[in-house]
Chains A and B, each alone.
Chain A
Amino acid sequence: MTAQGLALRDVAVRLAGRRVVHPVTADLGTAGLIALVGPNGAGKTTLLRAMAGLLPHTGAITMSGTPLAAMTPGARGRHIGYLPQGHLTHWPLPVRDIVGLGRFVHGAHDPRRLSAADRRIVDEAMDRTGLTPLADRPATTLSGGERARLALARIIAQQAPVILADEPDAALDPRYQIEVMSLLRSLAMQGTLVVAITHDLVHAAHFADQVMVMDAGYLIRTGVPAEVLEEALLKNTFGIAPRRPLDGDSLPWVLT
């Protein structure tokens, strides 16, 4: 039986002769928000990049039974959207053009000559991320929070059933962190599979359907946040001691 959605079978990655990701096997499903957590250097980004087809790896990554390796780069782009960390663009292109690049995988190679259908998708993506008033602003003049939303808008316009996001909430103030995670959450509710690396365990617990924990190149735990993020794991993997908040708030822990 072939797994529905994204599935990893013995996926391992070596970089410069060193094994950075030890064989990972997991069924990630077709929809939902999965938080990929783990200490720095655990191999999270490497695994994510391998899943995006950006790194050579052993084992098999399949989309509804079809190996990614057998797809053309273009077909892979229609299945999987990749959101790297940090730097967004190098030229002062208008926001609308950057979002329009999401349609690249669907054959729209010129963001200034989109079909009516493509333009509608781009407009919707900007609307959803609150970027419509900024549509003509050069992307290089945006604030950090606006850039994060722009990156999200581009990937929404790409309309891939799988989104791989590397720390989408990094370097943002709390309000934007929550905004970004909420957006990913709503995409997941609408049937997209979102795998997001995050260092914020509170967000992982709050927003994610599932948590995958990596440590030293191994996938050590997978499951619903409440079961996975328990005291022993936090202590052994992250070296932190959790404290329950006194008022039983919706956030499960205050981390000290």
Chain B
Amino acid sequence: MLALASLMLGPVRLAPGEVFAALTGYGDDPVHSLIVREIRMPRMVLALAIGAMLGLAGAALQGLTRNPLAEPSLFGAPQSAAFAAVAMVSFLGVDILSFAVPVAGIAGAFASVLLLVLITGPGASMLVVILAGLAISSLAGALTALALNLAPNFYAALEIAFWLMGSLEDRSTRHLALALPFILVGGALLLGQRAAMRALTLGEDVAASLGVDVRLTRLAVIAGVALGVGAGVAVSGAIGFIGLVAPHLVRPLAGYDPARTMTLSMPAGAALLLAADCAVRLAPPSSDLKVGVITALVGAPFFLFLIARGKRLLAGDAA
């Protein structure tokens, strides 16, 4: 349903029949075919892939840290990806939709993971890793602000600011081709840790005594999040809240099983981002609303609602 809607909506509104015709190649209108296949299709697939990745990453991190507040930005990879991308635009004068931006973003995400692992060393406690991640994300945030500050001109600064809000507008199959492999590898890395996540519900010590290599799990999760979310951010800019909200949405459905929560968070995240992206296109074109703004606007109050409703359960969890 959402996928169909996302193919229908836009400056040129299409009827379901027209979308179908354009997709199957039997349409009489080459413009419609072009719009659906070249513009809306990649945008839809990107929304699905990035949304699924964000949801999965959030669920994996919440499982790993056993903290329901964890989200993909916890270890600073998305922020580092954003900084690297922004630096390209600001310092090197690269166009914001150019191919170099996502490449730099992915490199930035990688660099942040490397830094995190180098600083914390092997066998560091989760607390140390989280603190280091926090410091790295603050640093990346500050550097992004600096890049914005030093932008060559007003328009570049505005472009960067808009890009940072997160958007799937005007992304082509090339962007999709660049991000998708990383998202698939990152997603596979995370999904491979599902069994370990179950053992981790009993804490790191018991998980280790049950034969789980906790260090390897942690590394796989951090690397998977950096790869998948880093690539996503590099293409779409920062899209918040989906990684935080999607796992909470599906957790009761999964019976609080961390592995099932991870699996179900993928369709949930994909649907959330696609819905937000459709909502953006329903707004008048002149407003130029960004999808990242929508996810935060809808996500934050929704999260408050979840907290209010689940207060008792959360309190029981803490006890």
Chain A contacts to B: CB under 8 angstroms: 49, 52-54, 72-78, 80-82, 84, 87-94, 97-98, 101, 104-105, 109-112, 138, 140-141, 154, 158
B256 contact set on A, CB distance < 8 A: 91-93, 138
Check if B205 sits within 8 Å of A54, measured CB to CB. Answer: yes
Q: Is B319 engaged at the interface, CB distance under 8 Å to the other chain?
A: yes
Task: Say whether A101 contacts B198, CB under 8 Å.
Answer: yes
* Given A73-B213, A91-B258, also A140-B205 (CB < 8 A): no
A-B contact pairs, 11 of them (CB 8 A): A73-B208, A76-B209, A77-B209, A80-B209, A84-B203, A88-B202, A92-B317, A105-B210, A109-B198, A138-B316, A140-B317
Assess whether B37 is interfacial by the CB under 8 Å rule. no
In the complex, the answer to whether B319 meets A140 with C-beta atoms within 8 Å is yes
Distance of A98 Cα from B202 Cα, bound (Å): 8
Q: How far is the CB of A214 from chain B (nearest CB, A)?
A: 20
State A84–B257 Cα separation when bound (angstroms): 22
B211 at the interface (CB under 8 A from A): yes
Q: Could you tell me the distance between the alpha carbons of A107 and B313 in the complex, rounded to whole angstroms? A: 31
| Contact present for A91 and B205 (CB under 8 Å) | no
Q: Are A93 and B205 in touch, CB under 8 angstroms?
A: no
Instruction: List the 6 shortest-distance A-B pairs measured between CB atoms, nearest first.
Output: A82-B209, A74-B211, A77-B211, A109-B195, A90-B66, A73-B211
Is B201's CB under 8 angstroms from A89's CB? yes
Number of A-B residue pairs having CB atoms within 8 Å of each other in the complex: 89
Chain B residue numbers with a CB within 8 Å of A158 are: 210
Please list the residues of chain B having a beta carbon within 8 angstroms of any beta carbon in chain A: 66, 195, 198-199, 201-203, 205-206, 208-213, 251, 255-259, 313, 316-317, 319
Decide if B255 touches A53 in the complex (CB within 8 Å): no
Across the interface, which residues of B come within 8 angstroms of A104, CB to CB? 195, 198-199, 210-211
Overall SS of chain A's interface: mixed
Q: How many Å from the CB of A202 to the closest CB on chain B? A: 28
| Inter-chain contacts of B213 with A (CB < 8 A) | 73
Q: Which of the residues A73, A84, A112 comes within 8 Å of B212, measured between beta carbons?
A: A73
Give the docked Cα–Cα distance between A154 and B256 (Å). Answer: 18
Known contacts A112-B257, A140-B319: A91-B210 contact under CB 8 Å = no
Residue of A nearest to B67 (CB): A90
A49: B residues at CB distance < 8 A: 205
Contacts of A94 in B (CB 8 A): 255
Within the assembled complex, what's the spacing in Å between the Cα atoms of A61 and B209? 15
Contact A111 B205 (CB under 8 A): no
The complex places the Cα of A84 from the Cα of B201 at a distance, in Å, of 13
- CA of A76 to CA of B212, assembled, Å: 10
Question: How far, in Å, is A97 (CB) from chain B's closest CB?
Answer: 7
Cα-based distance from A138 to B257 in the complex (angstroms): 11
Q: Are B208 and A53 in contact (CB under 8 A)?
A: yes
B125 smallest CB distance to A (angstroms): 12
Question: Residue of A at shortest CB range from B216?
Answer: A73
Q: Using Cβ atoms and an 8 Å threshold, which residues of chain A touch B198?
A: 101, 104, 109-111
Residue in A88, A93, A105, A109 whose CB lies within 8 Å of B255? A93
Residue in contact with B209 in the complex, picked from A52, A75, A98, CB distance below 8 Å: A52
- Complex contacts, A90 vs chain B, CB 8 Å: 66, 201, 203, 317
